[in-house]
Chain A
């Protein structure tokens, strides 16, 4: 279990419980967090679940995979803290994760 905070572009926060083994994207969709479109359903094929890791989570979670890096080419305003939330697995280790949702997933 991990508590995950999604911050909408407007600043509105959603604190939800993530189940181990699910992806952060699935956790967002299950809890109806706006702004995570996930068009492809989690196949790392659309870049519409783009989030920005907050604080030092980028270091803690480590590097993006090559597939995710490729897919991020399709996202907009990619930053060092950018991740595709379908590629982050929920575990006890990510308890307290905070991510920001971009204005648009385009």
Chain B
């Protein structure tokens, strides 16, 4: 059972650039939005894949980084007071008899809304699963890709694999409660914040944990319980004993639950029309990289256009029978009032 139910006009699935701009376009039409994203921050791929890298094809912004663009879109959406729900994934979506929708997230929030905008990009970012032989046998019992409750790791012999912030943070956080802690990385150089690297090195120097350089080639254990891993290092193979392993190899995009919402799909994309960007289900729209139509270009600017046109139809669904007046932000005092600039 969901612990909280929220009623709103629109739920936007995905806080990437297209989802963020949809808040603005819907907001101009007095439509209120809640936004759900699996990441712990807005921006989608812009934030996760290339926050520091320049984008050159946003109209009017000859050069902007993923992070800057995200910041500007957040600012543009802010007057409409959107509510963001991070670190969670919309797991189910169903249409009720009265034509409205009910969505649930894996963080126990339930939404009731009139329109759903799927702006899920390449799908949800999920931890990469290293293709180690037999890793499937241990998932959920001995192999975990995230730490939900630290207590679950108390008194375990833990092997953490990776060299980034997630790996180092969990080494330092779990070491005090673990029975033993081993960090394995492919090189003796770490991407993680220098502070956490220093902390880890101090623990190693004090004999409180082990650091090995190498890569896992095989896992051992039985009945889903890990007993150790074979590691290939510069000097050859050796064994690391552990009953818990946490591999941190970054994130990858997977379509995820969108595939189970009853929408038509074409090669993991959601087909839409190019007038309203509506899916096969009335009231559900798809914009940005997740949709497909003849001539589709996976560009942020295309997603912006799609957000604007989608909003027109969303207005008609949310306000049946009402006339939609087309206005410019430059000249309309009512739009300017909504933006807080009049």
A-side interface residues toward B, CB under 8 Å?
Answer: 39-40, 43, 45-48, 69-70, 72-74, 76-78, 103-104, 106
Q: A45-B49, A46-B49, A103-B131 are in contact. List 17 more A-B contacts (CB 8 A).
A: A43-B49, A43-B53, A45-B50, A46-B250, A47-B250, A48-B252, A69-B187, A69-B189, A73-B164, A73-B250, A74-B249, A74-B250, A76-B249, A77-B215, A78-B215, A106-B128, A106-B252
**Interfacial chain B residues near A103, Cβ < 8 Å:** 131
B156 contacts the other chain (Cβ, under 8 Å)?
no
Central interface residue in A47, A69, A77, A103, by most chain B CB within 10 Å? A77
Q: What is the CB-to-nearest-CB distance from B304 to chain A, in angstroms, rounded to a whole number?
A: 19
Q: Could you tell me the distance in whole angstroms from the C-beta of B274 to the nearest C-beta in chain A? A: 23
In the complex, A22 Cα to B318 Cα: how many Å? 48
B191 within 8 A of partner (CB): yes
For the complex, is B163 an interface residue (Cβ under 8 Å from A)? Answer: yes
How far apart are the CA atoms of A74 and B162 in the complex, in Å? Answer: 8
Residues on A with C-beta less than 8 A from B163 are 73
CB distance from A64 to the nearest CB of B (A): 11
**Could you name 27 residue pairs across A and B whose Cβ atoms are closer than 8 Å?**
A39-B122, A39-B252, A39-B253, A40-B45, A40-B50, A43-B49, A43-B50, A43-B53, A46-B250, A47-B250, A69-B187, A69-B189, A73-B162, A73-B164, A73-B185, A73-B186, A73-B250, A74-B250, A76-B130, A76-B131, A76-B215, A76-B249, A77-B215, A78-B215, A103-B131, A106-B129, A106-B252
User: Once the chains are docked, how many angstroms separate the CA of A93 from the CA of B191?
Assistant: 31
Residues of B within 8 A of A104 (CB): 131
Chain B residue nearest to A44 in the complex (CB):
B53
Q: How far is the CB of A82 from chain B (nearest CB, A)?
A: 10
Contacting residues, chain B, for A73 (C-beta < 8 A): 162-164, 185-187, 191, 249-250
Cβ distance B257 to chain A, nearest Cβ, rounded Å = 20
Distance A74 CA – B48 CA, assembled complex (angstroms) = 14
> Which residues of the other chain, A, contact B252 by a CB distance below 8 angstroms?
39, 46, 48, 106
A77 to B122, CA, bound (A): 25
Q: Is the CB of B186 within 8 A of A78?
A: yes
**Closest CB-CB distance, B249 to chain A, in whole Å?**
5
Q: How far is the CA of A70 from the CA of B122 in the complex (A)?
A: 23
A103 to B249, CA, bound (A): 17
Interface hub of B129, B130, B185 (most chain A Cβ within 10 A): B130
Chain B 107-136 against A: per-residue CB contact (8 Å), 1 yes, 0 no? 000000000000000100000111100000
